Amino acid sequence: MGLLELKNIAVFASGRGSNFLAVLRQIERGKIDGRVVCVISDHVRPPVFEIAGKHGIPTHWVNRKQFSNAADYAEFMLNLLENYRADLVLLAGYLKLIPTPVVRRYRYAMINIHPALLPNFGGKGFYGEKVHRAVIESGVKITGVTVHFVDEHYDRGAVIAQEKVAVEPEDTPETLAKRVLKVEHRLLPKVVGAFCDDQIKVLENGKVVWN
Q: Which is nearer to ligand GRF, 16 or 156 (CB)?
A: 16
Q: From the list 9, 10, 17, 192, which residue makes contact with ligand GRF (rule: CB under 6 A)? A: 17
- Of residues 43, 55, 60, 114, which has the active-site annotation? 114
16 makes contact with ligand GRF (CB under 6 A):
yes
Q: Which is nearer to ligand GRF, 15 or 173 (CB)?
A: 15
What phi and psi, each to the nearest 5 degrees, are found at residue 87? -95, -30
Given the rule CB under 6 A, which of 13-21, 56-64, 136-144, 162-170 is the region that contacts ligand GRF?
13-21
Q: From the list 113, 135, 150, 176, which residue makes contact with ligand GRF (rule: CB under 6 A)? A: 113
144 makes contact with ligand GRF (CB under 6 A):
no
115 makes contact with ligand GRF (CB under 6 A):
yes
184 makes contact with ligand GRF (CB under 6 A):
yes
Residue closest to ligand GRF (Cβ): 93
In the complex, the smallest distance separating the C-beta of residue 109 from ligand GRF, rounded to whole angstroms, is 18
Is 114 marked active-site?
yes
* Residue 164 and residue 144 in contact, taking contact as beta carbons nearer than 8 Å: yes
Given the rule CB under 6 A, which of 66-74, 75-83, 108-116, 157-165 is the region that contacts ligand GRF?
108-116
For Cα atoms 91, 48, 105, give the angle at the middle one, nearest 5 degrees.
25
* Residue 42 and residue 96 in contact, taking contact as beta carbons nearer than 8 Å: yes
3-class DSSP string for the chain: CCHHHCEEEEEECCCCCHHHHHHHHHHHCCCCCEEEEEEEECCCCCHHHHHHHHCCCCEEECCHHHCCCHHHHHHHHHHHHHHCCCCEEEECCCCCCCCHHHHHHCCCCEEEEECCCCCCCCCCCCCCHHHHHHHHHHCCCEEEEEEEECCCCCCCCCEEEEEEEECCCCCCHHHHHHHHHHHHHHHHHHHHHHHHCCCEEECCCCCEEEC
Given the rule CB under 6 A, which of 12-20, 49-57, 81-89, 97-105 is the region that contacts ligand GRF?
12-20
Given the rule CB under 6 A, which of 16-24, 61-69, 70-78, 103-111 is the region that contacts ligand GRF?
16-24
In the complex, the smallest distance separating the C-beta of residue 123 from ligand GRF, rounded to whole angstroms, is 13
The residues facing 34 across adjacent strands are: 7
Active site amino acids: 114
Residues that bind ligand GRF in the complex, under the rule CB under 6 A: 13, 15-20, 92-93, 113-115, 181, 184
